[in-house]
Chain A
Amino acid sequence: MLANIISWIAVVLLLVISTGLLLSRDWRWDIGFLAVQYIGVFWLVAQHWPPGMAAVKLVTGWMAAAALGMTLSNTSVRKERVEQFWPQGRAFRLFMVGAAAVLAASATPRIETSVPGIGLPVIAGGVLLVGTGLLHLGTDSRLERVIIGLLTIMAGFEIIYAAIESSILVAALLSVVNLGLGLVGAYLLTASTPEKELE
């Protein structure tokens, strides 16, 4: 019972973090939110995996966030041309997060019915992260945002997938993918920074 309550708290935490990630305009907040997001991911994954194995998600997520953060700290915020075909205001983003949350809330019981045993908070957390990750990809073309979006989608997917697959090999490969995304993001951010700025 207590574990279930904590799981729902983790889902709420993920909702707050996802909203923060979408509204934030400062990379420091982004990295902070990303790091906290993985605590929620850890808790929900730990519902189906042993805590030691679930901790792999936490550590890998933090490593990916650290790689991105270290790179961003060495580059000033780039004045990239942001595509203007989407509304960019905070109200719009807040509305979109609300839509994602409603979608997650409506889809969760249906998924639970077709795949029993995963657990409502696990499904809700996973779907919410996948939804907000897709929002990142759909509303922002900046490199750091794209990588954060992909990491968020992966985190959501991993929460649900952990409930149906507990292979160590999968855990290891998913960790490599997460870490790889973080490193690729760091690499691309470095590549997109003018040499003078790096000096």
Chain B
Amino acid sequence: MSAPLLWILIPIGIGALTFFVARDRLLIITGGAASLLLAGIALIVPIDEALRLGPFSLKIASSASLFGRSLVLNPTHAPFLVIVYGMCALWFFGAEAAGVARRLVPFGLIITGLLVASIAVQPFLFAALLIEIAVLVAIPMISPLNQTPGRGLVRFLIYQTLGMPFILFAGWLLAGVEASPGDLALTIQSTVMLGLGFAFLLAVFPLYNWIPQVMDESSPYIVGFLLWSLPTIASIYGMGFLDRYAWLRTSAQLLAGLRATGLLMVVTGGLWAAFQRHAGRLMAYTAVAETGFILIALGLNPATSTDITFLLIPARGLGIAIWSLSLSILKIKNNDEPLRFTSMQGLARSYPLASAGLILASLSTAGFPLLAGFPPRIALWEGLGQQSLGSAVWFLVGLLGLLIGAARMLAVLVMNKEETAWVSRETWVQRGMLGVGLIGLFILGLFPQALRPILEELPLMFQRLGR
């Protein structure tokens, strides 16, 4: 048995098989349990080491060959696999509450397998192709056959497809820069290519206009899954470039560019969020700001940037999951109509947990104390402040915008006549999933060290970055 077979091919196979499962509950149990099992194996069973089970000996080899190249999942990838498949289990178990199990579980497993393959493929440059294939698989997940595809979906397809050639060319040029480091023209060309590729891939300003549109057009839970998985893997892929090429890692201009771009995303995302009157779009701009946080983290001092980036990932994943689940529940109540503030007035009285999920997830993104987003925001702010005071102020402006967006949504949700009674119209499954998620938000906020054993090993994926 090899690690790529276990964490790439098996999930893709299970995903393909679940297309034939008729019952939603069985689908969720299969997908969720499979993801949980894969996370558990990554946590317990060491890769490339013999594990004795009585008379039997089990060894998971780290690599597998594919068309003359290899897929490699080292022991250092284990924490990454735990987080990815652990989060997937959470998403899949929540799919029933969001009413999208039939689309999310099969496609989600295949997409996750492909994204893990993109981290495992050697040379790592080819990951761009696997990410593109994952994007193509995501299209039928976002847009069901009975729904006319909207502009956001088409833009998503265009932007993600355009990103791939830039990254592949940049990788080739980077090899040339390595061979002749003094060639300034080549260095500039490769950096511009790489920047454009990741700008498309990570939906960097101003290429993020598809996010709010897709949020309008499709199920928030499914879009949330994509907004969690794609930027997370693309960021780790980007970190691979920084790890591989010393001149990129040590380039003050590149790091400043990353910080400036991230800041632009946080500020624009925050400002748009502050003036939104649509809960789905509000979430979209928050996701934009979240990507901005990752870019800022990557642009900080290389010694600490990796730790802060990985600290952002669990909080981001949990926040987006709760937010999109809450939105999905409210959207089902709203007969799949867009969630404009005018149609959400007073919903806190009939959907208290879903409303709490929306508010707390948005507050967490804004870095509100006691919530999961607070510790990484503080670390980020401190790191940014050490680089430039002006940047730290702009960062605060972005957070303020997100906070205003959250406060406005809170005002809309509780806006109702006094005599309206409080009832909980969520189903038990919805209550259970939201409850678990909300507790998780507080645990990560109050005890950020809870995930430390996994988070502190994540940077070991890279040979030089963060050392």
Which residues of A pack against B, CB within 8 Å?
A: 114, 137, 141, 143, 146, 150, 153-154, 157, 161, 164-165, 167-170, 172-174, 176-177, 180-181, 183-184, 187-188, 190-192, 195
B140 near A173 with CB under 8 A, answer: no
A177 near B129 with CB under 8 A, answer: yes
Q: Which residue of A lies closest to B140 (CB)?
A: A187
**Bound-complex Cα distance A183 to B137 (A):** 10
Count of B interface residues, CB-CB < 8 Å: 36
Which residues of B pack against A, CB within 8 Å?
A: 66-69, 121, 126, 129-130, 132-133, 136-137, 139-140, 143-149, 151, 153-154, 157-158, 161-162, 164-165, 168-169, 172, 185-186, 189
B136 near A177 with CB under 8 A, answer: yes
- List residues of chain A with CB within 8 A of the CB of B126: 167, 169-170, 173
Min distance, Cβ B225 to any Cβ of chain A, angstroms:
18
12 contacts between A and B (CB under 8 A): A114-B189, A146-B158, A150-B158, A161-B168, A168-B67, A168-B68, A174-B129, A177-B129, A181-B136, A181-B161, A191-B143, A191-B149
Min distance, Cβ A51 to any Cβ of chain B, angstroms:
19
Given A114-B189, A177-B133, 18 other A-B residues pairs in contact with their CB atoms under 8 A: A141-B151, A146-B154, A150-B158, A154-B165, A167-B67, A167-B69, A167-B126, A169-B67, A169-B126, A170-B126, A176-B129, A180-B132, A184-B140, A187-B140, A187-B145, A188-B139, A191-B145, A192-B148
Q: Which residue of B lies closest to A171 (CB)?
A: B67
B136 near A143 with CB under 8 A, answer: no
B139 near A184 with CB under 8 A, answer: yes
Known contacts A173-B129, A176-B133; decide if A153 and B147 are in contact (CB<8 Å).
no
Q: Which residue of B lies closest to A130 (CB)?
A: B165
- List residues of chain A with CB within 8 A of the CB of B161: 150, 153-154, 177, 181
B66 near A141 with CB under 8 A, answer: no
**Bound-complex Cα distance A176 to B69 (A):** 17
**Bound-complex Cα distance A192 to B185 (A):** 46
A167 near B145 with CB under 8 A, answer: no
**Bound-complex Cα distance A141 to B165 (A):** 22
- List residues of chain A with CB within 8 A of the CB of B146: 191, 195
- List residues of chain B with CB within 8 A of the CB of A165: 168, 172
Known contacts A146-B158, A150-B157, A173-B126; decide if A188 and B133 are in contact (CB<8 Å).
no
A191 near B144 with CB under 8 A, answer: yes
**Bound-complex Cα distance A30 to B180 (A):** 45
**Bound-complex Cα distance A105 to B157 (A):** 29
Min distance, Cβ B151 to any Cβ of chain A, angstroms:
7
Min distance, Cβ A123 to any Cβ of chain B, angstroms:
13
Known contacts A154-B161, A177-B132, A184-B157; decide if A169 and B139 are in contact (CB<8 Å).
no
- List residues of chain B with CB within 8 A of the CB of A184: 136, 139-140, 157
Min distance, Cβ A156 to any Cβ of chain B, angstroms:
9
B154 near A180 with CB under 8 A, answer: no
B145 near A190 with CB under 8 A, answer: yes
**Bound-complex Cα distance A141 to B148 (A):** 14
Q: Which residue of B lies closest to A146 (CB)?
A: B154
- List residues of chain B with CB within 8 A of the CB of A195: 146
- List residues of chain A with CB within 8 A of the CB of B139: 184, 187-188
Known contacts A167-B69, A177-B164; decide if A191 and B158 are in contact (CB<8 Å).
no
A137 near B158 with CB under 8 A, answer: yes
- List residues of chain B with CB within 8 A of the CB of A190: 145
- List residues of chain B with CB within 8 A of the CB of A181: 136, 161
> A146, A154, A164, A172: which contacts B67 (Cβ < 8 A)?
A172
Min distance, Cβ B209 to any Cβ of chain A, angstroms:
14
A167 near B157 with CB under 8 A, answer: no
Q: Which residue of B lies closest to A170 (CB)?
A: B126
Min distance, Cβ A87 to any Cβ of chain B, angstroms:
21
Min distance, Cβ B65 to any Cβ of chain A, angstroms:
10
**Bound-complex Cα distance A176 to B148 (A):** 25
Q: Which residue of A lies closest to B176 (CB)?
A: A115
Min distance, Cβ B30 to any Cβ of chain A, angstroms:
24
B69 near A169 with CB under 8 A, answer: yes
**Bound-complex Cα distance A147 to B67 (A):** 28
- List residues of chain A with CB within 8 A of the CB of B145: 187, 190-191
Residue from A167, A184, A195 having most chain B Cβ neighbours under 10 A: A184
Known contacts A172-B67, A191-B146; decide if A180 and B133 are in contact (CB<8 Å).
yes
Known contacts A143-B154, A187-B145, A191-B144; decide if A170 and B129 are in contact (CB<8 Å).
yes
Residue from B130, B136, B164 having most chain A Cβ neighbours under 10 A: B136
**Bound-complex Cα distance A177 to B131 (A):** 10
**Bound-complex Cα distance A158 to B259 (A):** 33
A191 near B148 with CB under 8 A, answer: yes
Q: Which residue of B lies closest to A190 (CB)?
A: B145
**Bound-complex Cα distance A141 to B145 (A):** 20
**Bound-complex Cα distance A29 to B67 (A):** 37
The 5 closest A-B pairs by CB, nearest first: A180-B136, A173-B129, A169-B67, A157-B165, A169-B69
Min distance, Cβ A145 to any Cβ of chain B, angstroms:
10
Q: Which residue of A lies closest to B185 (CB)?
A: A114
A161 near B129 with CB under 8 A, answer: no
Min distance, Cβ B95 to any Cβ of chain A, angstroms:
21
Min distance, Cβ B171 to any Cβ of chain A, angstroms:
9
Q: Which residue of A lies closest to B175 (CB)?
A: A164
- List residues of chain A with CB within 8 A of the CB of B69: 167, 169
Min distance, Cβ B280 to any Cβ of chain A, angstroms:
20
B66 near A191 with CB under 8 A, answer: no
Min distance, Cβ A157 to any Cβ of chain B, angstroms:
4
- List residues of chain B with CB within 8 A of the CB of A173: 126, 129-130, 133
**Bound-complex Cα distance A191 to B153 (A):** 12
Q: Which residue of B lies closest to A157 (CB)?
A: B165
- List residues of chain B with CB within 8 A of the CB of A150: 157-158, 161
- List residues of chain B with CB within 8 A of the CB of A170: 126, 129
> A141, A154, A174: which contacts B154 (Cβ < 8 A)?
A141
